[in-house]
Structure 1
Amino acid sequence: MLKKHIYKATLVLLVLVSSACNTWLDLKPENGIVGDEFWKTKEQVNSAVVGIYASMLSPGFAEKLFLWGELRADMLMANTGIFSSELEVMNGNIVDTNPISDWRAFYRTINQCNTVIERAPGALAEDQTFTQAQLNAYLGEAYAIRGLMYFYLARSFGDVPLKLTATISDEQTIALPKSSQAQVLNQVAKDLLKAEELATSNYGNNSFNKGRITKYAINAMQADVYLWKEKYDSAIIATDKVINSGQFGLVQGVGNPLWYQQLYAQGTSSEVVFALQFNAQRTNPFYPMFSTSTGRRFLAATRVLEDVFPPDPVDVLNADIRAAASVKVSTSEVWKYLGFNISDGRSQDQSTAPWIFYRYADILLMKAEALVAQNNGRGVEALELIYRVRQRANALPGTDNKDIDANSMNDMIDFILEERAREFAFEGKRWFDVLRNAKRNSYARQDLLNQMVINSASPERQQSILSKYKDQNSHYWPIYQYELTTNKSLEQNPFYKGR
């Protein structure tokens, strides 16, 4: 218990001292871990690694994770409190002055990872109680989180600067051009392989096992990256490492009144593979997004209750349990981040719901997608995984496709995407899920993106957005104007040049 409190106190301290920086290429780590005098003990290395996690709890970071994954998708509807920058994106008007495209929080975290990777090994000779195994575990965390940050950047922006060295002095001036998306994803895969080699499988503490990087968190990231890279054999191997570990399982849903609390409110259940754990000192940003008391910015789109979670036409009491966990029927409010349980809501100072990067349901559905995308007759195996997730949630017959051809890749991908929409509603995955499947085989499924526009855009804006989406470069964010001004080596993403 004391160890847990020390960890939380250190995390809070590092969070509070961060955030005074403006540029990402010439900054020292905000917590001051820059000089040789710091890297003397294993405790200092631990503090630096905890600082990496603290940077991900900083204001605006988790909000970007949500907005990049949901704002351009088809699960949200604008409410009266919406910011103009968010409304412009939902209306298909994305420009390089929109602060949602500001990536500095991600590069700030990357720089902290780079600093640990470069400086932590020096402490091994200084502290005789510091072991190689301990150092390896810390480095594994840094490599993994650096990979995760670049994975988000590559999926969101396409080509981005790839910086693998620490900026530790104000005298350093670095102006990097963009690397291609393929180069960045290759580096992500390389970082994750290195992280897997070094990281621990078990901290001996459940909170740490869920809130810090383990080998299994790295395997989950690898599966996601390999799906994006269309390396399906590798994705299956990565998911099987998590499945075969025996450490994870679906939280029982049907007949379990504590299902919501265990999975969404606590974030430390057997289903969670890796999550950001917020607390009273550092709350998450979602209460202001979804609560009426702060000028609610978003509601669940109408289609969520009509198409994603349609009612049972025969028995009104029969429902997919994920529907009530995701949205309030009477108000259309997004509930996953507002509730302690299905009925009782949080106050703003209790807004501590975790941000779950990966959970076991994701592992099962990523494996199903990889099996189908191999297109080699393993659709029946994929269906078994899909139905395992559906049965946990009491998915209704109206969302089933009992006549599906398991050997039809298109039909199976459609079914998987529909199930992922139900399972991960408002968890920051929808845009990436659809784009990943649309772009497979040289955009063989552009229709998936088009349908998402039809689902979400107002009729008068649909043709404009559909026309833009014909250009594959429009599927990525523009480089924020501030970065173009401060780094003359950067070029704007092609779609946004001259706009």
Structure 2
Amino acid sequence: RMCDYILADENYELVPAESMFSSVFYRGFSTESIFEFGYDEDIQVNDATRSLYGYQNNRNGQLAFPATLVAGKDSPFEYPAGNYIESKNDVDIRWKDFFVNDPGAGTYQIFKYAGLQRTENFDGSKSTYSYRNNTSNWIVYRLPDIILMKAEAVLQQKQEEGLAEALALVNITYSRSNAGDTLSLDYYDNSFDKLVDLVTRERQRELMFEGKRWFDLMRLARRAGSPSPLVSFIARKGEGSEALGKMSQMNALYWPVNKGELEANEALVQNKFYETTTSSSTLQ
């Protein structure tokens, strides 16, 4: 219902593809922004994105897009859906704009929020990335997030009866970034499970580096009643077995309750995972 309320508001609309990066992530407060924190160089700098993603004076932020997800079977780009290939690298602007595609560099630095603009050479085979020297905003919610939230909700509520409606919603964000191309149910054999996977991929492509991915995977785990779906996705990043092993229980996916809060309120109960797996006084 809340998704419908927002989608019916004519004040919100998607920014055209050609100006999406500059309008949404560089200038900020675009027509698709719903809740956004504004920063100002003279008042409050967004140090988090500068440090983690980078900017003009430090182009190598602490975080980068895992090379295992840029291409290959685990990537959301160039994904085979029957005889169709989703999000071709030479078409989907998100593959070009959201992280730096320079295979010679060895890493794929985040460009969303960190960048000013990307320019292509004459045949589109190489891009030049220019970085911002001012501070960026931070978007908490924007219209594509709501559109894809509704697609996910429609599938879970209506199951097979919601396939066409959910796909139509996915196509709103997908076609914007893929030169007007649209997806068909035939690509997914009219399968509920394949549409669920599609929504998960499209959210990854559209909302990468916006703080949404963990919560998307948590919903998968909660629906399954097991951390297995989440762990499967995390493993694609090349995480070590020790890190993955710590996620073997559902309770391990949630934070512990702070010791001070437990002492202040006897009605609070510690997360069972931290009661049994750690002796740290800061967690118990």
Matched, 1:409 2:177: no
Asked whether the equivalents of residues 453 and 465 of structure 1 are also in contact (C-alpha less than 8 Å), the reply is no
Instruction: Identify if the C-alpha distance between structure 1 residues 294 and 366 changes in structure 2 by more than 3 Å, giving closer, same or farther.
Output: closer
> 5 Å matches for 1:37-116?
none
Question: Which of residues 168, 173, 176 in structure 2 aligns to 1:392?
Answer: 176
Instruction: Identify if the C-alpha distance between structure 1 residues 298 and 323 changes in structure 2 by more than 3 Å, giving closer, same or farther.
Output: same
Asked whether the equivalents of residues 379 and 412 of structure 1 are also in contact (C-alpha less than 8 Å), the reply is yes
One-letter amino acid matched to 1:283: V
Aligned partner of 1:46 in structure 2 is: none
* Structure 1 segments (4+ residues) deviating >6 Å: none
Instruction: Identify if the C-alpha distance between structure 1 residues 456 and 396 changes in structure 2 by more than 3 Å, giving closer, same or farther.
Output: farther
Aligned partner of 1:49 in structure 2 is: none
Instruction: Identify if the C-alpha distance between structure 1 residues 467 and 333 changes in structure 2 by more than 3 Å, giving closer, same or farther.
Output: closer
Aligned partner of 1:322 in structure 2 is: 94
Matched, 1:335 2:111: yes
CA distance in 2, matches of 1:261, 1:293: 20
Asked whether the equivalents of residues 290 and 297 of structure 1 are also in contact (C-alpha less than 8 Å), the reply is yes
Matched, 1:487 2:258: no
Asked whether the equivalents of residues 12 and 143 of structure 2 are also in contact (C-alpha less than 8 Å), the reply is yes
CA distance in 1, matches of 2:185, 2:115: 32
Aligned partner of 2:213 in structure 1 is: 430
The RMSD of aligned alpha carbons is 2.9
Asked whether the equivalents of residues 78 and 89 of structure 2 are also in contact (C-alpha less than 8 Å), the reply is no
CA distance in 2, matches of 1:295, 1:269: 27
Q: By percentage of residues, which structure has more helix?
A: 1
Larger-gyration structure (1/2): 1
CA distance in 2, matches of 1:317, 1:296: 23
Asked whether the equivalents of residues 339 and 345 of structure 1 are also in contact (C-alpha less than 8 Å), the reply is yes
Q: Which runs of 5+ in 1 are unaligned?
A: 1-236
Q: Identity of paired residues, percent? A: 28
Instruction: Identify if the C-alpha distance between structure 1 residues 294 and 321 changes in structure 2 by more than 3 Å, giving closer, same or farther.
Output: closer
Once the two structures are superposed, residues 81-138 of structure 1 have per-residue CA deviations (whole angstroms, 9 ceiling, x without a partner) of xxxxxxxxxxxxxxxxxxxxxxxxxxxxxxxxxxxxxxxxxxxxxxxxxxxxxxxxxx
Matched, 1:497 2:283: no
Does the residue aligned with 2:270 lie in a helix, a strand or coil? coil
Aligned partner of 1:472 in structure 2 is: 250
Aligned partner of 1:275 in structure 2 is: 36
TM-score where L is the length of structure 2 = 0.77
Question: Which of residues 212, 237, 240 in structure 1 aligns to 2:4?
Answer: 240
Matched, 1:250 2:26: no
What is the CA-CA distance between 1:413 and the residue it aligns to? 1.2
Asked whether the equivalents of residues 69 and 237 of structure 2 are also in contact (C-alpha less than 8 Å), the reply is no
Question: Which of residues 149, 152, 164 in structure 2 aligns to 1:366?
Answer: 149
One-letter amino acid matched to 2:220: N
Matched, 1:357 2:140: yes
Aligned partner of 1:454 in structure 2 is: 235
Aligned partner of 1:308 in structure 2 is: 76
Once the two structures are superposed, residues 38-76 of structure 1 have per-residue CA deviations (whole angstroms, 9 ceiling, x without a partner) of xxxxxxxxxxxxxxxxxxxxxxxxxxxxxxxxxxxxxxx
Instruction: Identify if the C-alpha distance between structure 1 residues 420 and 261 changes in structure 2 by more than 3 Å, giving closer, same or farther.
Output: same
Matched, 1:439 2:222: yes
What is the CA-CA distance between 1:263 and the residue it aligns to? 1.1
TM-score where L is the length of structure 1 = 0.45
Does the residue aligned with 1:437 lie in a helix, a strand or coil? helix
Asked whether the equivalents of residues 167 and 185 of structure 2 are also in contact (C-alpha less than 8 Å), the reply is no
